[in-house]
Structure 1
């Protein structure tokens, strides 16, 4: 029996992250979420006047490799119309690894579902 190769089916791109001072590049409009996993910030990019979300994960709690993995999967899954788009922009600050995503003003799926679920009619439409 042949030995199967182990590992991911696609190569996760790693590159040197640009180091920035967040407040020099973005106006922070709102903290959308916060916890041990990091912060989700609604921001406006000063140069382009574009609203977006920054997903910031603290360096002490995540390896650079894990950050690139999450960024990679976000880029590849985000092309689906029902998944939040991850933009091909990532950078770091003194304390965080950060990547950018589209803003979903209505929240996530679980915040928009009743405790009993979405029901048969809507489930069939998905």
Structure 2
């Protein structure tokens, strides 16, 4: 997997361990061991994966549920707006499954522009 992704083995091992601890992967030791999904791919959301690797999604510290993160939390006039933005992003990511992410689609690229050359006579 590390070779295919062109990533260092320790990094891939750390990612696999975090996904296993979060209950997204199952680990099997031994000669025929390896990793497999703990749930169906359509039951694992992008939020599940991000939170397993990075922790709770919070676009700013204002989005944290911990009031001790900011001394101005109680009187802040923008934290509610940041919370709404954070929840919108989290909701969008929650609605995308691993199965959807794994379905490759051809890239849509604009057609190449036609170059014109003017030759002076």
- TM-score normalised by the shorter chain: which range applies? under 0.3
- The structure where strand makes up a greater share of residues is 1
Work out which of the two has the higher radius of gyration on C-alpha atoms and give 1 or 2.
Answer: 2
TM-score normalised by L of structure 1: 0.27
